[in-house]
């Protein structure tokens, strides 16, 4: 699943990032390009346009043609003066002055600057300038002298006219070339602008295309992810359903078996029979434990550490476990002995499942590595004086010693590592998963204690579990005797359980405690029964046909019948913490796990009916 | 660029309009009868500028003639600038065109400025003050001959900005100015 997700998401994400960076770079580049074009070429263009605009207003061509017009007027004034004589002299002089006033502009004015680097133009201009100087000498002289030299003025003017004409033509030609150059420059600028803008536009389009592609990619990988997620969820649902079925199908017969054994153990039997029943009980318990470990996902993943302390008779527990494993010891002709004398006086608060698991692992380990000799199991509760528990704090010590092959000094700590296995190459006998001692270490830590080993290779090993415990409030012998009739009030109880033998076990427990018990086989029957009968407490199996325990309780509570306010205990084969919480939220006061333990059931009933009455 | 210069131009026009209006107002409120009745002095020397048409003040039949001294007597302004027709920077001295328009009581219509060679250009009175031109009679402190494009040359402060370097303004910058006809 992880692989499938990886194939889809990681490269897509990386590609997406790369594309995004590329798009950003492209867009920035395009914008920068357009910006440069607008600022550089644009201002150049504006400048050129401005020049075109202002240049038109006062151009050399215009200047020259006006000079020519004024020259011709002067020329005609000379002829007029010849006819009219002195009367028109002032007009002649003024017309000359006007022509003369043009010289400065042609020679030095900004307007004509482009022509002044043409040698031919300058040659004609020199001739024009000389004509003006020569004529001015006559014009500025006495009136009589001026009239006398009108012919000279005429010759001078006619002599220079071709130069003036030529200057005009050069100006025209120059202007045309100039405007061509300007036009070409402008065209060049515009086409450059166009090209660069085109490139910018192309880049932007490219960026857009990449963005669209990125979006499509993201959409697709999103779809793949969603598909993978759906698949994962479906598999998870399948797994949960499988576990639920397994839980129900395996646990129910097992619970029936264990319940029946419990009943049997309370009957009068020969010592041999009792021993056989005891072994069956312990083995059944181990099987139950195994099933739980496989089916309970919380414990499956190394989460053995959830500690649930309750009052435990350590001596009885140890003796039972040792008894259950005597068969294996006898097979190997080992002498397994148990000494619980120094633990016999107290009940302590601890987790019996974890404790049993530790002991089984340690004894299993000893059995595995011991070929001859004996195994000693001792349990001791230290720090508590016999009788009244003056100090609630005590220490529980379990020691399992064997006469096996032992462990080399340098490997003594490694044996507690997870997945460590002490098997040698030649040892082909089946063994644990390699998790055994690692589990023991983790349990010891969870209980707040520690595990240690003393060993001499060839002579044997001694594993020691030490953990702090609190003494239970009731000294041993108070509440735990199985057959003892309690002083509890006889209660009116309803039990709804679909599996026959479970129903039988629960019924037997409750009747032996003196209660009045009504049995039904499903939730619907429970609902009907609760309408008219006021029960003190309801024991409802969660998984039942027709109507399950949860639905039944909901109906009973809402019906407002005689038992609508009765306390309710759920019994379930598959009780992870989440489910327990869920069931409590549904209105159950307590949740018990199968197989039902007589003591726990008794406490639960006593607690909840007492609470109901006082409440 | 263009936009800015247009803005600048409009602002100037507005400022000019306000200034002119307020000046006219002052003129009309404070001493219109006196000004209107007081005749313009007659020219003593050769006439170099004639303003004709519907004038508030005259010294002839529907005309105001000026000799060089009459112009030099009036408050003058100086413009230091280059021109398209000359080389380098020149200091021109002359009478602001706007002052002349106000003094002669010209309050509308068009000015037709005519040169010695009969070159002519028309300027609306409302726009005549734009660019603050002067009727220059001196160039770098010396009076101008006809050969220097004198004796009168309408000069704008071309170097002040691009707004003045265009065809319209250059056309109005008439040299060898002789006559201004006021037309309604």
Pairwise CA distance, residues A358 & A351, whole Å: 11
Q: Does B117 touch chain A (CB under 8 A)?
A: yes
Residues of A in contact with B82 (CB under 8 A): 110
A59: closest CA among A183, A176, A184, A164?
A176
B47-81 tens-digit pLDDT: 999 999 988 888 888 899 999 999 999 999 999 99
pLDDT band at B46 (very low <50, low <70, confident <90, very high): very high
Pairwise CA distance, residues B45 & B17, whole Å: 35
Q: How far is A187 from chain B (nearest CA, A)?
A: 21
Q: What is the mean pLDDT of chain B?
A: 81
Tell which phi-psi region holds residue A333, choosing left (phi > 0), alpha (psi between -120 and 50) or beta.
Answer: left
Pairwise CA distance, residues A596 & A472, whole Å: 22
Q: Does B162 touch chain A (CB under 8 A)?
A: yes
A346: closest CA among A383, A378, A374?
A383
Which residues 62-91 on chain A approach chain B with CB closer than 8 angstroms? 63, 66, 70, 73
Pick from A53, A101, A104: which is nearest to B176 by CB? A101
Pairing of strands B120-124, B142-143: unpaired
Q: Looking at residue A325, what is its pLDDT?
A: 82
Q: Are B84 and A58 in contact (CB under 8 A)?
A: yes
Which residues, in sequence order, are CB contacts of A245 under 8 Å at separation 6+? Answer: none
Pairwise CA distance, residues A174 & A258, whole Å: 122
pTM score of the predicted model: 0.42
Low-confidence spans in chain A with pLDDT less than 70: 1-13, 16, 47-48, 50-58, 178-180, 182, 244, 247-248, 286, 289-290, 292-306, 308, 384-392, 418-435, 473-488, 574-577, 610-615
Q: Which residue has the higher pLDDT, A563 or B179?
A: B179
Residues of A in contact with B166 (CB under 8 A): 53-54, 57
Pairwise CA distance, residues B116 & B130, whole Å: 24
Q: How far is B170 from chain A (nearest CA, A)?
A: 7
**Mean pLDDT confidence for B23-31:** 41
Decide if pLDDT at B27 tops 50. no
Q: How far is A24 from chain B (nearest CA, A)?
A: 32
Q: Is the dihedral of CA B145, B151, B157, B162 positive or negative?
A: negative
**From the candidates B1, B46, B47, B117, which should be mutated to test the interface with A, based on the most A CB atoms within 10 A?**
B117
Residues B85, A110: C-beta atoms closer than 8 Å: yes
SS3 string, A33-68, reads HHHHHHHHHHHHHHHHHHHHHHHHHCCHHHHHHHHH
Which residues, in sequence order, are CB contacts of A452 under 8 Å at separation 6+? Answer: A463, A464, A466
Task: Say how many C-beta atoms besides its own lie within 10 A of residue A339's C-beta.
Answer: 16
Q: Looking at residue A597, what is its pLDDT?
A: 78
**H or E, element range at A150:** helix A150-265
Residues of B in contact with A70 (CB under 8 A): 117
Q: Are A517 and A504 in contact (CB under 8 A)?
A: no
Residues of B in contact with A129 (CB under 8 A): none
Q: How far is A96 from chain B (nearest CA, A)?
A: 8
Instruction: Give DSSP secondary structure letters for B10-40.
Output: HHHHHHHHHHHHHHHHHHHHHSHHHHHHSPP
Q: Does B34 touch chain A (CB under 8 A)?
A: no
Q: Are A551 and A527 in contact (CB under 8 A)?
A: no
B106-142 tens-digit pLDDT: 888 899 999 998 889 988 888 888 888 999 999 999 9
ipTM of the modeled complex? 0.75
Q: Does A39 touch chain B (CB under 8 A)?
A: no
Quick one: angle between helices A150-265 and A60-84, nearest 10?
Answer: 160
SS3 string, B131-143, reads CCCEEEEEECCEE
**From residue A546, how far is each of A21, A109, A497, A542 by CA, in Å?**
62, 116, 12, 12
Q: Does A94 touch chain B (CB under 8 A)?
A: yes
Task: Say how many C-beta atoms besides its own lie within 10 A of residue B84's C-beta.
Answer: 20
Beta pairing partners, A464: A399, A452
Q: Is the dihedral of CA A426, A429, A430, A431 positive or negative?
A: negative
B35: closest CA among B50, B57, B54?
B57
Q: Looking at residue A575, what is its pLDDT?
A: 56
Q: Looking at residue A179, what is its pLDDT?
A: 66
A485-499 tens-digit pLDDT: 444 578 899 999 988
Q: Looking at residue A84, what is its pLDDT?
A: 87
Q: How far is B135 from chain A (nearest CA, A)?
A: 18
Q: Looking at residue A399, what is its pLDDT?
A: 94
């Amino acid at each position: 699943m992880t692989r499938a997700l990886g194939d889809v998401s990681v490269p897509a994400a990386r590609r997406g990032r790369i594309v995004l960076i590329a798009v950003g770079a492209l867009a920035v580049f395009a914008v920068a390009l357009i910006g440069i074009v607008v600022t550089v070429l644009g201002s150049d263009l504006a400048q050129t346009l401005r020049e075109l605009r202002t240049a038109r207003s006062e151009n050399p061509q215009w200047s020259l043609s006006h000079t020519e017009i004024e020259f011709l007027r002067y020329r005609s004034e000379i002829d007029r003066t010849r006819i009219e004589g002195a009367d028109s002299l002032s007009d002649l002089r003024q017309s000359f002055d006007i022509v003369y006033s043009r010289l400065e502009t042609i020679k030095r004015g900004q307007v004509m600057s482009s022509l002044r680097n043409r040698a031919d133009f300058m040659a004609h201009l020199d001739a024009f300038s000389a004509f003006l100087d020569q004529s001015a000498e006559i014009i500025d002289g006495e009136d009589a002298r001026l009239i006398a030299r009108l012919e000279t003025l005429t010759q001078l003017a006619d002599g220079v006219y071709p130069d003036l004409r030529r200057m005009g033509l050069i100006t025209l030609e120059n202007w045309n070339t100039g405007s061509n150059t300007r036009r070409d420059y402008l065209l060049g600028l515009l086409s450059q602008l166009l090209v660069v803008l085109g490139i910018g536009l192309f880049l932007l389009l490219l960026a857009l295309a990449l963005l669209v592609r990125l979006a499509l990619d993201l959409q697709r990988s999103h779809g793949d992810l969603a598909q993978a997620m759906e698949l994962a969820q479906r598999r998870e649902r399948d797994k949960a359903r499988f576990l639920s079925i397994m839980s129900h199908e395996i646990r129910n017969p097992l619970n029936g078996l264990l319940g029946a054994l419990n009943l049997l153990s309370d009957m009068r039997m020969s010592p041999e029979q009792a021993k056989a029943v005891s072994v069956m009980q312990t083995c059944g318990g181990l099987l139950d434990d195994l099933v739980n470990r496989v089916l309970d996902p919380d414990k499956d993943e190394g989460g053995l550490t959830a500690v649930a302390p309750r009052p435990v008779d350590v001596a009885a527990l140890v003796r039972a476990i040792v008894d259950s494993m005597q068969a294996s010891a006898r097979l190997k002709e080992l002498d397994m002995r148990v000494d619980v004398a120094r633990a016999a006086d107290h009940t302590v608060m601890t987790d019996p499942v974890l404790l049993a698991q530790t002991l089984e692992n340690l004894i299993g380990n000893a059995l595995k590595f011991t070929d001859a000799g004996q195994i000693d199991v001792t349990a001791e509760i230290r720090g508590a004086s016999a009788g009244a528990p003056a100090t609630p704090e005590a220490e529980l010590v379990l020691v399992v010693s064997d006469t096996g092959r032992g462990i080399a000094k340098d490997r003594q700590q490694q044996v507690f590592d997870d997945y460590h296995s002490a098997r040698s190459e030649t040892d082909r006998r089946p063994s644990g998963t390699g998790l055994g001692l690692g589990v023991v270490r983790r349990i010891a830590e969870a209980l707040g204690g520690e595990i240690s080993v003393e060993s001499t290779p060839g002579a044997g090993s001694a594993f020691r579990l030490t953990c702090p415990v609190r003494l239970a409030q009731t000294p041993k012998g108070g509440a735990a005797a199985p057959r003892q009739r309690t002083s509890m009030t006889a209660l009116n109880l309803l039990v709804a359980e679909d599996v026959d033998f479970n129903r039988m076990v629960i019924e037997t427990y409750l009747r032996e405690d003196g209660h009045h018990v009504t049995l039904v086989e499903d939730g619907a029957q429970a609902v009907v029964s609760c309408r008219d009968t006021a029960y003190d407490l309801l024991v409802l199996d969660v998984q039942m046909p027709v109507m399950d325990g949860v639905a039944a309780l909901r109906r009973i509570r809402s019906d407002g019948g005689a038992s609508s306010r009765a306390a309710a205990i759920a019994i379930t084969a598959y009780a992870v913490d989440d489910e327990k919480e869920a069931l409590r939220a549904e209105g159950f006061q307590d949740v018990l796990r199968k197989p039902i333990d007589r003591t726990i059931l008794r406490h639960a009933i006593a607690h909840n009916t007492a609470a109901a009455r006082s409440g | 660029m263009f936009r800015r210069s247009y803005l600048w131009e409009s602002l100037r026009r507005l400022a000019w309009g306000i200034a002119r209006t307020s000046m006219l107002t002052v003129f009309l409120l404070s001493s219109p009868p006196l000004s209107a009745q007081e005749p313009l002095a007659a020219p003593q020397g050769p006439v170099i500028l004639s303003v004709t048409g519907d004038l508030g003040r005259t010294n002839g039949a529907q005309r105001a003639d000026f000799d060089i001294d009459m112009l030099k007597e009036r408050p003058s302004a100086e413009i230091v600038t280059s021109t398209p027709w000359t080389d380098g920077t020149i200091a021109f001295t002359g009478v602001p065109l706007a002052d002349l328009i106000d003094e002669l009581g010209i309050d509308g219509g068009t000015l037709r400025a005519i040169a010695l060679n009969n070159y002519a250009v028309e300027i609306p009175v409302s726009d005549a003050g734009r660019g603050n031109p002067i009727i220059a009679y001196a160039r770098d402190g010396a009076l101008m001959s006809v050969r220097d494009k004198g004796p009168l040359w309408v000069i704008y402060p071309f170097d002040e900005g691009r707004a003045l370097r265009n065809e319209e303004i250059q056309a109005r910058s008439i040299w060898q100015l002789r006559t201004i006809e006021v037309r309604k």
